[in-house]
Amino acid sequence: MKDNSKEILDGRKSIEDIDNENSLRPQLLSEYIGQDKIKENLNIFITASKQRSEPLEHVLFYGPPGLGKTTLSYIVANEMKVSIRCTSGPLIERAGDLAAILTNVEPGSVLFIDEIHRLPRIVEEVLYSAMEDYKLDIIIGKGPSAKTIRINLPKFTLIGATTRAGQLTSALRDRFGMTFRMDFYPPKDLAQIIKRSARILKADIKEDAILEIARRSRGTPRVANRLLKRVRDFGQVQNVKIITKVLVDSSLASLDIDDKGLDSLDRRVMTVIIKHYSGGPVGIESIAVAVGEEADTIEDVCEPFLIQLGFIIRTPQGRKATDEGYKHLNIERKGDSQGRLI
């Protein structure tokens, strides 16, 4: 049976997100909610670049999926009043693919590469001189007769986004003039995002319903917007005109999302660590096999939020469940000073 709740709580982009994000996406830094320190620094760097009539230095955004890396990239282009071209690491398979993109960038424009950690190494090496010197070296021919042609590129801003900064080589990472880590959002910021999205979607929603969705959104704006739209669907079918906390509770219960924002896969991961491996430590591959899910999904979607909640920790030996994790699943830890399970 398909686990629909995981699709809803997955911070990675879905087809629906791509279709709908433009309508909900803020266009300027002043409209962007949360990540205040990043906004403050970006505003200074953008203003300084505009005053010097120079492109912004290359920027790297990293952090869990769904926190606004793509949105901030569009905002940078809007604030700089330049065009933006978007692509992703998996789509750039050969050096020639990157060359075709770079030779068509406009002066001062933004090139956004999502999942930049997935660029093949040979492509990444071509990117070095493009980022540093705004030059592109192309090899023509093969063998002894091969020769290198150097093409001058217009100055541009590369913005990279990744959920796995640790997988970037130091050579690539060091070529970014600015690096920003995106953090999970507190409920108060998510509540503002939900309120803004509800207004755009023309959804009538009560304040306590907003707060409840915010509380269960895993600290992730993309998840918050997705939950809002799913609750709206339940209300529409049930002919409920106003989204209330009662509707939110019943809708999320139907989606198997608990009071902390965990779904069935999150709880299966926790259960495997606790019951199959006595609380850990256990490797991510073993967990993935036990729950029947890809290791990347657990690492990118489940694990960051479980760590944020303090339900699991990462150790050199593997993942371990914490006392809070046991408590959330209502499982008594064996060897607890208050008693043992029989």
Q: Could you report the per-residue pLDDT of 252-261, keeping only the tens digit for each?
A: 999 999 999 9
Tokens of 197: 């999205």
- Are 238 and 296 in a shared domain? no
Q: What is this structure's pTM?
A: 0.86
Cα separation of 83 and 55, whole Å? 12
- Are 91 and 165 in a shared domain? yes
Whole-number pLDDT of residue 137? 84
Whole-number pLDDT of residue 86? 96
Q: Could you report the per-residue pLDDT of 39-55, keeping only the tens digit for each?
A: 999 999 999 999 999 99
- Are 91 and 116 in a shared domain? yes
Query: Does 337 score more than 60 pLDDT?
Result: no
Exposed (0-12), middle (13-18) or buried (19+): which is 51, by Cβ within 10 Å? exposed
Average pLDDT over residues 127-137: 93
- Are 91 and 169 in a shared domain? yes
Whole-number pLDDT of residue 278? 92
- Are 150 and 251 in a shared domain? no
Average pLDDT over residues 132-139: 88
Q: Domain boundary residue among 136, 159, 181? A: 181
CATH code of the domain containing 268: 1.10.10.10
- Are 85 and 166 in a shared domain? yes
Whole-number pLDDT of residue 146? 78
Do the beta carbons of residue 122 and residue 137 sit within 8 Å? no
Whole-number pLDDT of residue 339? 37
> pLDDT: is 333 or 175 the higher one?
175
What's the mean pLDDT when you consider all of the chain? Answer: 90
In this predicted structure, which of 60-69, 84-93, 142-151 has the lowest mean pLDDT? 142-151
Q: Which residues contact 131 (CB under 8 A, 6 or more apart)?
A: 58, 158, 175, 176
- Are 33 and 72 in a shared domain? yes
Do the beta carbons of residue 282 and residue 238 sit within 8 Å? no
Total domain count for the chain? 3
Nearest CA to 272 out of 296, 303, 301 is that of: 303
Cα separation of 214 and 72, whole Å? 21
Is residue 273 domain-resident?
A: yes
Q: Which residues contact 316 (CB under 8 A, 6 or more apart)?
A: none
- Cα 71 to Cα 8, 31, 66: the distances in Å are 19, 11, 10
Distance, first Cα to last Cα, the chain? 34
Q: Domain boundary residue among 181, 206, 241? A: 181
The dihedral sign for the CA sequence 178, 221, 308, 88: negative
- Are 126 and 242 in a shared domain? no
Whole-number pLDDT of residue 335? 63
Is residue 204 domain-resident?
A: yes
Is residue 341 domain-resident?
A: no
- Are 171 and 248 in a shared domain? no
* DSSP for 163-208, written as a single string: S-GGGS-HHHHTT-SEEEEPPPPPHHHHHHHHHHHHHHHT--B-HH
Is residue 241 domain-resident?
A: yes
Nearest CA to 70 out of 160, 168, 198 is that of: 160
Catalytic annotation, residues: 69-70, 114, 163, 222
- Are 29 and 165 in a shared domain? yes
Average pLDDT over residues 198-206: 95
Cα separation of 66 and 155, whole Å? 29
CATH code of the domain containing 227: 1.10.8.60
Is residue 342 domain-resident?
A: no
Which residues form the domain of 130? 15-181
Do the beta carbons of residue 174 and residue 55 sit within 8 Å? no
Q: What count of residues does the chain have?
A: 342
Whole-number pLDDT of residue 22? 64
Is residue 126 domain-resident?
A: yes
- Is the bond preceding 186 in cis, omega lying within 30 degrees of 0? no
Query: Does 326 score more than 90 pLDDT?
Result: yes
- Are 80 and 50 in a shared domain? yes
Average pLDDT over residues 116-137: 93
Cα separation of 211 and 195, whole Å? 10
Is residue 337 domain-resident?
A: no
Q: How confident is the model at residue 2 (pLDDT cuts 50, 70, 90)?
A: very low
Q: Could you report the per-residue pLDDT of 159-178, keeping only the tens digit for each?
A: 999 999 999 999 999 999 99
- Are 145 and 34 in a shared domain? yes
